[in-house]
Structure 1
Amino acid sequence: MASLSVPPVPTDPRRDAVDLHRAFKGLGCDSTTVIAILAHRDASQRALIQHHYMAIYHQDLLHRLASELSGNHKKAVLLWVLDPATRDAAILHQALNGDVTDMRAATEVVCSRTPSQMRVVRQAYLSRFGGHLEQHVAARASGDHQRLLLAYLRCPRYEGPEADPAAGARDARELYRAGERRLGTDERTFIRIFSERSAAHMASVAAAYHHMYDRSLEQAVKSETSGNFGFGLLTIIRCAESPAKYFAKVLHKAMKGLGTNDTALMRVVTTRAEVDMQYIKAEYHRSYKRSLADAVHAETSGNYRTFLLSLVGRDR
């Protein structure tokens, strides 16, 4: 369930475009108006606003926002105004080609999306950045991690909720034989099963593994693999079992300790606000005994804080 709050009566995108332009005029930017509009419009509404802004003012709204805003507030808004597929493509491009390569961020996006979502993301990546996502992944990743990501990008997987318990038990047995039962690990078997099976099936495999061997599949992955390869496998299995729990943990890690990982924070908030943020908030509260809104409020400030809290939504 999304946390995004939009007006009950559809707004006029042309009026929104005019109001945004007025917010940009004069000394400084009226960020309150920018947030009030953009943080309360869904993807289709934001696209229409951008269309009308270009038609009226002959200027790209993203470019104008980039010139008017600053800091993390600017970064978060610029991510948010993109459509979901282009946003994922932008996150992947920055992670793979930015000043600092962030393979964890790239792995998270690839391994937490459905095959149909990734098909659109790959098209958006090529259109926006003029390169093939698979080629950039192959250039930045290596070894089993590279093989896992490329297989996950290329394999067409079933996306429905059905799973065959017997088939799940067979895969659990095969993973046990490829890992904990033998000396060394058969990584190819892990890559094949994790990349070719649906999320529902992987959840069934995890349940069967725990029942058969009195040990979680996640524990087995942690003991048998390491580094980015292990992180990719864990991302797949955790998102298969509970995407909300997975992203709640990402958010908690981003905000715990000294300093805040703002890149991870804005990545999760902007990509999940229209998907399942209400479930993530519930998991966050259950796991960490604190509301997500309180945590975001404590770790951020200014317009950046106001914008993120507008997307996260108030506690209910």
Structure 2
Amino acid sequence: MYPFGTPTVVPAASFDPVKDANDLRKAMKGFGTDEDTLINIICRRSNEQRQEIHRQYKTHFGKDLIEDVKSETSGNFEKLLVALLRPIVEFYVAELNAAMAGIGTDEDVLIEILCTLSNAEIHTIKNAYLRSYGAHLESELKSETSGNFKRLLVSLCNGNRDESGRTDVTAAQQDARELLKAGELRVGTDESTFNMILCQRNYQQLRLIFAEYEKMTGHTLEHAIRNEFSGDIMDGLIAIYKCVTNKSEYFASRLHKSMAGIGTNDNQLIRVIVSRCEIDMHDIKVAFERLYGKSLRSWIKGDTSGHYKHALYALIGEQRSS
């Protein structure tokens, strides 16, 4: 039923957007806010259903649902609900813009989004970015990044990866040899070869190339990338490698990174959960527990609190309690 993974948020079966809009209005009207109702509706509907609720809310009450949620909630709980109420394309566009706005650039966000989307998704986001900000995403990336990392992002931003799914062992062996010659068999690194192969070949073909590389060298291409590169370009190439070999593990590692250490990177935690809950969050949960020995729920319990925590539970398909 779900070819790309198992989601934890699915469309509500007996969906009534008018009732949902009314219930949300009641939850926010008058003194105090019924946060449980906000969670039960906003976190347990698909993005498409949330957009319909948004329209009905405006039609019935002449008010904007996002603005009302902003005025009735605060902190990370507000941030999470607002992210859920945006169309997913708008959400990605806002995240990309925020990653490049102001002083400094959040390269991790650029990598996470551009390294994990399909050609069609990238083209949709580019068009939406232009509409929202009056600037071309590619131009913004060029002005905010530099060197090999800039070239990697521009390649990904073109959304020109082969998506045929066709594989060719001979071609895989040839590409593996080219990667070996471009990296480990020379002084210095020919970054353009890594860029070209990792940004253009389809995922099935890349898996073959990685297997051939390991046969030739006795170690993974990830090992070679870590030896040959550093900084943002290394992170970008490894993100592509991990998405090809096991996308669930890649996103599990992003969630872990958001909660490990001192303090929680709530923007990252929210972004991964909002963007994956309708795609493959169940698979990410399984990968998380396999990699880190504890459930994702237990990590969220330790790193968040209150209504924010319960909203995250709902999105990852966990029941409330304590």
TM-score range, shorter chain: over 0.9
Deviation at 1:60, TM superposition (A): 2.2
Identity %: 36
Deviation at 1:131, TM superposition (A): 2.0
Task: Pick the aligned partner of 1:226 from 222, 227, 230.
Answer: 230
Matches within 5 A, 1:1-316: 1-7=6-12, 9-98=13-102, 101-314=105-318
Q: Which residue in 1 is equivalent to 2:3?
A: none
Whether the 8 Å CA contact 2:50–2:85 is kept in 1: the answer is yes
Change (3 A) 1:313 1:98: farther
Whether the 8 Å CA contact 1:137–1:150 is kept in 2: the answer is yes
TM-score, length-normalised on structure 1?
0.95
Change (3 A) 1:309 1:100: farther
Taking the aligned partners of 2:196 and 2:116, their CA distance within structure 1 comes to 17
Whether the 8 Å CA contact 1:209–1:216 is kept in 2: the answer is yes
**Long gaps (5+) in structure 1:** none
What is the SS of the residue equivalent to 1:125?
helix
Taking the aligned partners of 1:314 and 1:236, their CA distance within structure 2 comes to 29
Whether the 8 Å CA contact 1:5–1:311 is kept in 2: the answer is no
Whether the 8 Å CA contact 2:281–2:316 is kept in 1: the answer is yes
**Long gaps (5+) in structure 2:** 1-5
Q: When the two structures are aligned, how many residues end up with a matched partner?
A: 314
Deviation at 1:155, TM superposition (A): 4.4
Taking the aligned partners of 1:94 and 1:82, their CA distance within structure 2 comes to 15
Per-residue deviation, residues 45-73 of structure 1 (Å, max 9, x unmatched) = 01101111111122222222222211011
What is the SS of the residue equivalent to 2:8?
coil
Deviation at 1:187, TM superposition (A): 0.9
Whether the 8 Å CA contact 1:178–1:187 is kept in 2: the answer is yes
Taking the aligned partners of 2:203 and 2:135, their CA distance within structure 1 comes to 28
What is the SS of the residue equivalent to 1:27?
coil
Tell me whether 182-191 or 129-138 shows the greater mean CA deviation.
Answer: 129-138
Per-residue deviation, residues 237-290 of structure 1 (Å, max 9, x unmatched) = 110111101011111111112211111111111110001111101111111111
Change (3 A) 1:214 1:139: same
Deviation at 1:5, TM superposition (A): 4.9
